[in-house]
């Protein structure tokens, strides 16, 4: 147990770290098994409804019951960024399943965090870090076993994307929970005043070193994670609202295609679940449309603020909402570009909210130029964090879903990332720079 050691000493501390690593590994395995189970249940139900059980002993390929298990395993791996080669590559991530996986990792990590907090001594970043590392290791171990079971000559899943994706999902779910709930984040101030922080600042030219010190002292850099979260939420909510509006407006077409598929009760439920898993992908497409570059539903197609150019699309009912879009939209549609700018403004407002952090890394009195540089560094940090999140979301929401034209679907990642970054930067700068300038005018 993580809280088994109550005395001090290097040997005891080592045993505590080992216990935290083991508890984290178990938590990671538990989260992976729970997620796989939630994916396997509907796959098995659909397979059984299709008379799969009757042919299980003699499938001809020798797969038997392994067929639905492998299908569920592949679906779980796809939710973690895996690439499936059939030989056509499928690499669009069902982000709904990804969100579920992150939530399961977070819930599993809470038990470990509770055990760490129950220790008589104050939790340390090392203990929380070992527990988080254990969660990632356990999760990766489960993914590797599942990869070995799910891969066949006809359906190849490369190793590298699986390793990167599962490690990212586990880290995103575990690290905030373990560091936040154990109080390890309270050590941020001492960390910023440490020798390592000073040594890192010493590498910067003196003007920018003073600017970084001022940004830390004002709390701007410390509030970057919260500001990035606000910005991402301010982008996601309009994207989700846009998707909901399109689905409501074109709901008749969606229902008509669902009925035309005639998949039966179980098949219809399976199609609905698949579409729910892909809804976050549609939200990312909506954000890309609001940013300007838009998205494609096959090679040679596009849906942008200027209009749409679509061809034959896959028989997925939710895509029926796009059929019949006009070739050109009204000029007023370009006003949608203000949405990412407003999201950046909200992020900038969050940067400025709160009291100074009282982290004095430089004794010099700040000047006007120093304050402006501090604002520029805070803006760069905000746009950088939002850019990383956007890059991951765009990469997961674009790629291939089949052969032929379906090898290119989703937003163009690089142009969308550039547009979003510029719009968020513009909005945040419109809020942060005037405030920094007013503060600078009060300095000599």
- 354 vs 21, higher pLDDT: 21
- Residue 4 covered by a domain: no
- Residue 321's Cα: distance from chain center in Å? 26
Residues comprising the chain, all counted: 444
Owning domain of residue 373: 194-441
| pLDDT the model gives residue 191 | 56
Residue 3 has pLDDT above 80, yes or no: no
| pLDDT the model gives residue 273 | 84
> What does the DSSP assignment read for 29-56?
HHHHHHHHHHHHHHHHHHHHHTTTTTTS
DSSP 3-state of 430: helix
For residues 261 and 185, state if they share a domain: no
For residues 169 and 129, state if they share a domain: yes
How far apart are the C-alpha atoms of 345 and 354, rounded to whole Å?
A: 16
The CB-based long-range contact list for 298-302 (8 Å cut-off, 24+ gap) reads 298/405, 298/406, 298/408, 298/409, 299/404, 299/405, 299/406, 299/407, 299/408, 300/405, 301/405
For residues 147 and 210, state if they share a domain: no
For residues 157 and 234, state if they share a domain: no
- Residue 44 covered by a domain: yes
The span from the first CA to the last CA of the chain, in angstroms, equals 58
For residues 358 and 226, state if they share a domain: yes
Instruction: Describe the crossing of helices 95-117 and 368-396 by its angle, rounded to 10 degrees.
Output: 120
Q: How many CA atoms lie within 13 A of 42 on its CB side?
A: 17
Report pLDDT digits (tens) over 138-188.
999 999 999 998 888 888 889 999 999 999 999 999 988 887 765 555 555
| pLDDT the model gives residue 87 | 78
For residues 294 and 153, state if they share a domain: no
* Residue ending a domain, choose from 141, 167, 190: 190
Greatest mean pLDDT range, 44-48, 245-249, 356-360: 245-249
Greatest mean pLDDT range, 17-21, 197-201, 431-435: 431-435
| pLDDT the model gives residue 199 | 66
Do 53 and 111 contact (CB within 8 A), yes or no? Answer: no
Token pair for 92: 């669009």
| pLDDT the model gives residue 170 | 94
| pLDDT the model gives residue 386 | 96
| pLDDT the model gives residue 13 | 61
> What does the DSSP assignment read for 203-261?
TS-HHHHHHHHHHHHTTTTTTHHHHHHHHHHHHHHHHHHHHHHHHHHTHHHHHHHHHHH
- Residue 354 covered by a domain: yes
- Residue 3 covered by a domain: no
The DSSP H or E segment spanning 432 is: helix 413-441
* Residue ending a domain, choose from 190, 211, 244: 190
* Residue ending a domain, choose from 157, 190, 223: 190
- 163 vs 195, higher pLDDT: 163
| pLDDT the model gives residue 180 | 73
- 103 vs 187, higher pLDDT: 103
- Residue recorded with tokens 């005043």: 193
For residues 181 and 218, state if they share a domain: no
Pairing of strands 296-297, 409-410: antiparallel
Residue 402's pLDDT band (boundaries 50, 70, 90)?
A: confident
Greatest mean pLDDT range, 39-48, 203-212, 359-368: 39-48
Token pair for 101: 């996986």
Pairing of strands 89-90, 84-85: antiparallel
Of 85-94, 227-236, 283-292, 386-395, where does mean pLDDT reach its minimum?
Answer: 85-94
| pLDDT the model gives residue 60 | 42
Q: What is the mean pLDDT of the chain?
A: 81
> What does the DSSP assignment read for 313-367?
--S-GGGGGGTT--SS--GGGGGGGHHHHHHHHHHHHHHH-S------S--SPP-
* % of the chain surpassing 90 pLDDT: 39
Which residues, listed in sequence order, are joined to residue 152 by a DSSP beta bridge? 155
| pLDDT the model gives residue 376 | 86
| pLDDT the model gives residue 253 | 79
For residues 392 and 247, state if they share a domain: yes
| pLDDT the model gives residue 369 | 72
CA dihedral 133, 134, 137, 140 (to 10 degrees): -100
For residues 97 and 216, state if they share a domain: no
Pairing of strands 89-90, 296-297: unpaired
- Residue 1 covered by a domain: no
Greatest mean pLDDT range, 36-50, 192-206, 229-243: 229-243
Residue 316 has pLDDT above 60, yes or no: yes
Average pLDDT over residues 55-77: 69
- Residue 5 covered by a domain: no
For residues 268 and 354, state if they share a domain: yes
**358: alpha, beta or left? (left if phi > 0; alpha if psi -120 to 50):** left
Q: How many CB atoms lie within 10 A of CB 340?
A: 28
- Residue 103 covered by a domain: yes
Comparing CA positions, the residue from 188, 241, 220 lying closest to residue 382 is 220
* % of the chain surpassing 70 pLDDT: 77
For residues 174 and 127, state if they share a domain: yes
For residues 407 and 428, state if they share a domain: yes
| pLDDT the model gives residue 150 | 86
Do 324 and 254 contact (CB within 8 A), yes or no? Answer: no
Of 44-48, 86-90, 312-316, where does mean pLDDT reach its minimum?
Answer: 312-316
| pLDDT the model gives residue 90 | 87
Residue 209 has pLDDT above 70, yes or no: no
| Sign of torsion over alpha carbons 80, 86, 92, 96 | negative
Do 47 and 68 contact (CB within 8 A), yes or no? Answer: yes
Which residues, listed in sequence order, are joined to residue 89 by a DSSP beta bridge? 85
Which residues, listed in sequence order, are joined to residue 90 by a DSSP beta bridge? 84, 401
The structural domain count of the chain equals 2
């Amino acid at each position: 147990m993580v809280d088994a050691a109550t005395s001090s000493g290097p040997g005891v501390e080592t045993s505590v770290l080992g216990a935290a690593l083991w508890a984290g590994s178990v938590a990671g395995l538990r989260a992976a098994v729970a997620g796989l189970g939630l994916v396997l249940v509907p796959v098995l139900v659909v397979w059984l409804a299709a008379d799969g059980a009757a042919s299980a002993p003699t499938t001809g390929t020798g797969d038997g019951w392994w067929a639905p298990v492998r299908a569920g395993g592949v679906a779980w791996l796809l939710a973690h960024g895996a690439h499936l080669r059939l030989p056509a590559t499928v690499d669009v991530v069902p982000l709904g399943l990804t969100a579920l996986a992150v939530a399961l990792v977070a819930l599993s990590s809470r038990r470990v965090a509770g055990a760490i907090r129950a220790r008589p001594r104050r939790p340390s970043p090392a203990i929380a870090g070992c527990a988080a590392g254990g969660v990632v290791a356990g999760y990766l171990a489960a993914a590797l076993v599942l990869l070995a079971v799910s891969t066949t000559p006809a359906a190849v899943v490369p190793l590298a994307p699986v390793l990167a994706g599962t490690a990212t999902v586990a880290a995103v779910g575990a690290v905030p929970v373990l560091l936040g709930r154990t109080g390890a984040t309270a050590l941020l101030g001492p960390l910023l005043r440490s020798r390592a922080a000073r040594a890192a600042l010493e590498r910067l030219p003196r003007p920018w070193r003073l600017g970084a010190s001022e940004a830390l002292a004002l709390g701007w850099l410390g509030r970057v994670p919260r500001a990035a979260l606000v910005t991402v939420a301010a982008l996601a909510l309009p994207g989700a609202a846009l998707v909901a509006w399109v689905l409501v407006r074109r709901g008749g077409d969606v229902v008509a295609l669902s009925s035309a598929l005639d998949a039966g009760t179980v098949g219809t439920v399976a199609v609905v679940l698949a579409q729910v898993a892909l809804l976050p992908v549609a939200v990312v497409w909506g954000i890309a449309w609001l940013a300007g570059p838009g998205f494609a539903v096959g090679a040679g197609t596009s849906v942008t603020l200027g209009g749409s150019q679509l061809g034959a699309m896959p028989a997925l009912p939710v895509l029926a909402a796009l059929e019949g879009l006009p070739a050109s939209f009204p000029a007023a549609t370009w006003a949608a570009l203000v949405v990412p700018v407003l999201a950046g403004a909200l992020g900038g407002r969050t940067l400025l909210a709160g009291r100074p952090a009282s982290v004095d890394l430089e004794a010099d009195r700040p000047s006007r130029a120093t304050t402006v540089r501090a604002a520029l560094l805070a803006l760069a940090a905000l746009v950088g964090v939002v850019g990383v999140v956007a890059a991951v979301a765009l990469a997961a929401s674009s790629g291939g879903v089949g052969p032929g034209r379906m090898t290119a679907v989703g937003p163009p990642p690089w142009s969308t990332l550039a547009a979003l970054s510029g719009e968020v930067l513009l909005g945040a700068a419109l809020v942060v720079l005037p405030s920094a300038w007013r503060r600078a005018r009060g300095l000599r």
